[in-house]
Amino acid sequence: MRRDFPEVMVMDRYVLLVKAPKGADLSGFREEVKALAERHGFKAEVHRCIGLTVDGVIIHNNGVVLIRRKREPFKDFYALPGGFVEYGESVEDALKREMKEETGLDVRILRLVGVYSDPGRDPRGHTVSVAFLCLGEGKLKAGDDAKEVHVFPVDEALKLPLAFDHGRILRDALGVK
């Protein structure tokens, strides 16, 4: 227990991810989940959740690294490499892991580009992305959610229709309006 708040019970939080159609009525489900948790001595609350992601603008071989997405949404579109932050992971560690998984590159973070939180930025639901500018080292190799990985000259990358709000992130990272 925290000494400054002795009445606060220290607990672990777990999330059961339930994917429901937009606008679905969860009232009956919510009550069933609460009753199930109580039978096991737990407390359950049903809240809509936000996903936390990272995106990387990687400078490598005098260009910008982009992946071609393997899956929907935006299947076959070019995108910045990135993905979801795992529980217990810092955004910096998540960025390094995701960059390695999708591009094969090790990255050195140069700076934070920004936090992108428009609720409509991802058609799968509300995600907030922390974007970084970094330098890539190593050999390119597509993996995980990346069908392909390429290095584009900056001027060409800026003209491509990118997935999500990645065009905005790329422009912000490079200081282009």
> Which of the residues are catalytic?
148
Burial of residue 4, with CB atoms counted within 10 A of its CB: 0-12 exposed, 13-18 middle, 19 or more buried: exposed
Q: How far apart are CA 130 and CA 115, in angstroms?
A: 5
In order of 132, 138, 169, 172, 173, the CA distances from 112 in angstroms are 5, 22, 11, 10, 9
Encode burial over 71-106: b for 16+ CB neighbours within 10 A, e otherwise: eeebeebbbbbbbebeeeeebbebbbbbbbbbbbbe
| Chain mean position to CA 115 | 11
Helix, strand or coil for residue 150?
Answer: strand
Residue pair 107/56 in contact (Cβ under 8 Å)? The answer is yes
